[in-house]
Copies of this chain bind each other. A is one copy, B any other.
Amino acid sequence: MQSYNPPIRDIRFVIHELVGAASICALPAYRASECDPALIDAVLDEAGKFAGEVLSPLNAIGDREGARWQPGSDGTGEVRTAPGFPEAYRRFVEGGWMALPCAPQFGGQGLPRLLATAVSEMWKGANLSFSHVITLTHGAIEALTIAGSDELKATYLPRLVSGEWTGTMNITEPQAGSDLAAIACRAEPQEDGTYRIFGQKIFITYGDHDIAPNIVHLVLARTPGAPPGVKGLSLFLVPKFILDAGGAPGARNDVHCASIEHKLGVHGSPTTTLVHGDHGGSLGYLIGEIGRGLEIMFVMMNSARLSVGTESLGVAQYAWQMASAYARERLQGSDGKSGGKVPIVRHPDVRRLLMTQRSTTEAIRALAYTIAGLQDVAHHAEDAEERQRAHRRVELLTPILKGWSTESAVDLTSMAIQVFGGMGFVEETGIAQCLRDVRITPIYEGTTAIQAADLAGRKLARDGGETLNAFLDEMRRDRAAMRTADDPTVRAIAEELARSLDDAASAADAIRQKMTSDPAAGLVVAEPFLRLMGTTVGGWLMGKAARVAAAALANGADDPFYAEKLATAKFYADHVLPRTAGLAMTVRSDDGLLLALADEVF
């Protein structure tokens, strides 16, 4: 099986030449961390090695062996991760990888999100199941950093930042999935200021495991007398083991793993049901203020959505690599020229499949890293207005990345299976795992419908559409620059992009009107609108990349990568970008017919 091969060349291109690492490194916070482009490259190389050599070999093992639940010493059950996972996690922590993007005051390395996103793409691509524990721990770190008391921060953050302990998010309950207002877990205040938590949480990733000596659960729950709905939710920190006087894990807390799910994919990542309070309540500490739980969670959730977009990128990249390797090695049929058999990569449709995978993956990477760079600016630019502008742009692009990249990745991994033909359906080749694993990404951290509603509702309506209009204007300006480029490929891409930009603008007008006059009718076409926007944004970024590549070639660069980038951008413009035409028609012409039909018709 083809092991994960870190796509360092394209990662560097996007970081340095498309997003511009130099300007990110120049932000005061990163000057303080002594981050520079050379450091970025060194970190990428080391991360690539770790991903390829340590995480990738465990990917199939995690799938085959899975995390297992077994009756535990605590009376309910505990989770054993797949063979090799605990050792790999130990090495991950020893390598200091958990600390990479975290704040220096708690032991973090304070490196840019732009770099952290690239590094995380490699963890996710090499082993999505393993990477979940990193994502969740970073989420817990973020929430504590935003809202934790000084005491909670001092006690827990250093151990989370180092990776000594891991984190979880306890959100979902059987009756409360996409609808967080339905959360029913109770938190009862105690005299000493702590809380006792009661209730069941489901779908808790790495809610129990054997790779670290303690787990820090962040739990959404409802205090007595809290208002109904999301305003009644507060956030609590519930350690698996309560700390003793010396700060070490001591008594077992009353939160137990009742079972784990048997899932389509990510078998190596335990998806647990956690029961709080079967024996008197789990001990919890309030994070932030009463009733502000959702706000804090939302900050984490935005990061989590970008993280899931990066997951779909990583897996799509790996699937393409596997298909690509197979296509060069598998001999079948002839090309009509030589007499003998040829590798199937010579067949036109196999080329089409592979190039669709490569070019779309590159477009997704360009968008994910663009957002990460904007996050760095939003957090650390000196000018407040610049920070605000970047923040708004991040908020606009986040649902687009999450929705579009994850839906695309399902198609792209399915295409990778297709390249393998019959062998793609046989589990031992490993390619089917990519589809099974990535299929969760359009679901968790807000389904595509949730992303689409966020985009069509909150994000478009906000500030009278100013953020979107400014963004469309920027894409149009870049398009105008492409149109006058010396390179004919760049000019050809500009032609196709012009049409998609018109599609985006007309669809945005149409959906804005619908959201105003009849929001439900707008929501019927919100998902096609989101896909239209993702496809267009991908085309814009691939066009920009083509311009950079053409300029490099004009300046005498002899790296074949630049000519390849022109080819992948042109292919994207010919094969992916035209989809916006149909999507725009759908957004415009749907008449809300569905809303009037009886439930029984569906």
A contacts, CB < 8 Å to B: 172, 175, 177-179, 182, 203, 261-265, 324, 327-328, 331-333, 335-336, 341, 343, 345-355, 358, 410-411, 414, 417-418, 421-422, 424-428, 432, 435-436, 439-440, 442-444, 447-449, 452-453, 496, 519-521, 523-528, 564, 567, 570-571, 574-575, 578-583, 585-586, 589-591, 593-595, 597, 599-602
Closest to A448 in B: B418
Is there an interface contact between A426 and B594, defined as CB atoms closer than 8 Å?
no
A581 contacts which of B570, B585, B601 (Cβ < 8 Å)?
A: B585
Is there an interface contact between A444 and B422, defined as CB atoms closer than 8 Å?
yes
A574 contacts which of B262, B341, B591 (Cβ < 8 Å)?
A: B591
A590 to B355: give the CA distance in the assembly, Å. Answer: 13
Closest to A575 in B: B586
Is there an interface contact between B427 and A262, defined as CB atoms closer than 8 Å?
yes
Closest to A447 in B: B421
Is there an interface contact between B578 and A427, defined as CB atoms closer than 8 Å?
no
Closest Cβ of chain B to A485, distance in Å, is 17
Contacts of A427 in B (CB 8 A): 262-264
Closest to A263 in B: B425
Closest Cβ of chain B to A317, distance in Å, is 14
Is there an interface contact between A355 and B594, defined as CB atoms closer than 8 Å?
yes
A262 contacts which of B355, B428, B602 (Cβ < 8 Å)?
A: B428
A228 to B410: give the CA distance in the assembly, Å. Answer: 41
Closest to A180 in B: B333
Contacts of A439 in B (CB 8 A): 414, 417, 425, 432, 435
Closest Cβ of chain B to A425, distance in Å, is 5
Is there an interface contact between B602 and A354, defined as CB atoms closer than 8 Å?
yes
Is there an interface contact between B452 and A349, defined as CB atoms closer than 8 Å?
yes
Contacts of A203 in B (CB 8 A): 422
A578 contacts which of B328, B424, B585, B599 (Cβ < 8 Å)?
A: B585
Is there an interface contact between A567 and B443, defined as CB atoms closer than 8 Å?
no
Q: A346-B599, A349-B453, A418-B447 known; A578 and B574 CB under 8 Å?
A: no
Is there an interface contact between B436 and A264, defined as CB atoms closer than 8 Å?
yes
Closest to A417 in B: B439
Is there an interface contact between A567 and B593, defined as CB atoms closer than 8 Å?
yes
> Can you spell out 6 A-B residue pairs with CB atoms less than 8 angstroms apart?
A175-B331, A328-B599, A345-B599, A418-B442, A574-B589, A578-B589
Is there an interface contact between A578 and B586, defined as CB atoms closer than 8 Å?
yes
A349 contacts which of B264, B422, B523 (Cβ < 8 Å)?
A: B523
| Known contacts A263-B427, A574-B590; 18 further A-B pairs (Cβ under 8 A) | A175-B332, A179-B332, A262-B427, A264-B426, A324-B602, A335-B520, A345-B599, A347-B449, A348-B524, A352-B594, A355-B602, A425-B443, A528-B575, A567-B593, A567-B594, A575-B590, A579-B579, A581-B581
A177 to B422: give the CA distance in the assembly, Å. Answer: 8
Contacts of A324 in B (CB 8 A): 602
Is there an interface contact between B593 and A583, defined as CB atoms closer than 8 Å?
no
A353 to B528: give the CA distance in the assembly, Å. Answer: 11
Copies of this chain assembled into the complex: 2
Is there an interface contact between A349 and B425, defined as CB atoms closer than 8 Å?
no
Is there an interface contact between B442 and A358, defined as CB atoms closer than 8 Å?
no
Closest to A411 in B: B411
A452 to B350: give the CA distance in the assembly, Å. Answer: 12
A468 to B6: give the CA distance in the assembly, Å. Answer: 47
Is there an interface contact between B524 and A351, defined as CB atoms closer than 8 Å?
yes
A560 to B262: give the CA distance in the assembly, Å. Answer: 40
A264 to B264: give the CA distance in the assembly, Å. Answer: 10
Is there an interface contact between A425 and B343, defined as CB atoms closer than 8 Å?
no
Contacts of A435 in B (CB 8 A): 264, 439
Contacts of A452 in B (CB 8 A): 349
A595 contacts which of B327, B351, B425, B583 (Cβ < 8 Å)?
A: B351
Is there an interface contact between B582 and A578, defined as CB atoms closer than 8 Å?
yes
Contacts of A354 in B (CB 8 A): 602
Closest to A352 in B: B524
Closest Cβ of chain B to A250, distance in Å, is 34
Contacts of A348 in B (CB 8 A): 520-521, 523-524, 526, 594-595
A332 contacts which of B177, B422, B600 (Cβ < 8 Å)?
A: B177
A602 contacts which of B327, B421, B425, B575 (Cβ < 8 Å)?
A: B327
Contacts of A411 in B (CB 8 A): 411
Closest Cβ of chain B to A347, distance in Å, is 7
Is there an interface contact between B432 and A264, defined as CB atoms closer than 8 Å?
yes
What are the 3 A-B residue pairs with the smallest beta carbon separation, nearest first? A578-B582, A349-B449, A348-B523
A331 to B181: give the CA distance in the assembly, Å. Answer: 13
Closest to A489 in B: B593
A192 to B520: give the CA distance in the assembly, Å. Answer: 76
Closest Cβ of chain B to A504, distance in Å, is 14
Contacts of A350 in B (CB 8 A): 449, 602
A550 to B440: give the CA distance in the assembly, Å. Answer: 41
Is there an interface contact between A443 and B426, defined as CB atoms closer than 8 Å?
no
A422 contacts which of B172, B426, B520, B567 (Cβ < 8 Å)?
A: B172
Is there an interface contact between B426 and A261, defined as CB atoms closer than 8 Å?
yes
A347 to B265: give the CA distance in the assembly, Å. Answer: 27
Closest to A583 in B: B578
Closest Cβ of chain B to A306, distance in Å, is 20
A494 to B203: give the CA distance in the assembly, Å. Answer: 47
Contacts of A349 in B (CB 8 A): 448-449, 452-453, 523-524, 526-527
Is there an interface contact between B443 and A602, defined as CB atoms closer than 8 Å?
no
